[in-house]
Amino acid sequence: MKLTLHFGAHKTASSYLQRTLAHNRDLLRRNGVGYVHLAMMRQKVTNPLAWARNFPDDKARVKASKTRAANFLQRMWGERLLGDGETPQRHLLLSDENLIGVPREMVNWRRLYPTLTERMEVLQPMLGDAVPRIYLCIRNPVTYAPSIFCEALVARNAAEFDLRSYRKDWLKHQPRWSNVIGKLRHTFPNAEIRVWDFADFRALESRILHEMADVPNGETFEPLTDIIRPSITDKAARKLLWIQRWKGNQARFEALPEVRRQYADGPKLQLWKSKDLPLLEDLYAEDLAGIAAMENVVLIRP
């Protein structure tokens, strides 16, 4: 049986892909594809593993959390029939960007997925001897860094919300997606890793869906009709930063719906100065070229 792991990344239409897969569960079932929808994936696997990482001193809870996640994955991998009780399962597809980290960590560390290695060291043994095919979408830091900052800013938990130092440290550390992919290759040395640039997503959308789910090209995924809520605007982000600074984390989170409504229109968060852009664009171009040359890595292009 085949195993596919889709690790996002965050802010690269991952939620859209997950919702499209869930919306087309009948199509997946007809093709023998077992898909764990995101809410179930978070409940059974991602959140228990996050607890094990965040509270290492609670030995009993850590053990119970890891056992619960491992048992669920092994049960899903061991399924021979899908939910209808008739169709053989030939392919298991798991998708959750939080498996490799969360935006708050990237904002705090000024790195791309700084806890990925530790997270994968826990996940990989739970998959037994399966050799997965891994899918990952990457994004130019010109838009990715501010988008991730805003994603952390609208979450409940606090982070290091300092725009000035965030920009400075990102330019200093120059995070590269090739390092993220290198860590995945270290954990899954025999896996093929398939990567695409978020800028190409609309041109590649159908191909990505069919590839990940291993559904024949002749069959069509029914599109979603609703629209996912957009990222917050620059004015909304700066208002939330002001509330965080002067009123605290809880006040920031409670103010989020009203701030979204009040500052719904306008440009996205303006993080960079114009002098930063040539460097960032050059670094990303170098990163893409390096990724394309990596062993067992395929850079999917339109």
Question: Average pLDDT of the chain?
Answer: 94
> Is it the case that residue 86 has pLDDT exceeding 80?
no
pLDDT of 84 reads 65
pTM of the model: 0.95
Coil, helix or strand for 113?
A: coil
CA angle at 181 for the pair 122 and 14, rounded to the nearest 5°:
80
List Cβ neighbours of 184 (8 Å cut-off, separation of 6 or more): 7, 100, 116, 120, 134, 136, 191, 193
> Is it the case that residue 83 has pLDDT exceeding 80?
no
pLDDT band at 223 (very low <50, low <70, confident <90, very high): very high
Placement of tokens 């992919």 in the chain: 181
Strand order in the sheet with 297-300: 33-35, 91-95, 2-6, 133-138, 192-197, 297-300
Each residue's pLDDT tens digit, 239-260: 999 999 999 999 999 999 999 9
pLDDT of 87 reads 81
Mean pLDDT of 17-35: 95
- Residues 42 and 98 sit within 8 Å (Cβ to Cβ): yes
> Is it the case that residue 227 has pLDDT exceeding 70?
no
Q: How many CB atoms lie within 10 A of CB 8?
A: 23
pLDDT of 59 reads 84
Q: How many CB atoms lie within 10 A of CB 115?
A: 16
Question: What domains can be seen in the chain, in order of their start residue?
Answer: 2-141+176-230+280-300 (3.40.50)
- Residues 103 and 155 sit within 8 Å (Cβ to Cβ): yes
pLDDT band at 6 (very low <50, low <70, confident <90, very high): very high
Mean pLDDT of 21-44: 95
From the list 18, 11, 8, the residue with the least C-alpha distance to 232 is 11
Question: Rounded distance, CA 103 to CA 94, Å?
Answer: 20
pLDDT band at 184 (very low <50, low <70, confident <90, very high): very high
Indicate the Cα dihedral angle 11, 271, 176, 203, nearest 10°.
40
> Is it the case that residue 33 has pLDDT exceeding 80?
yes
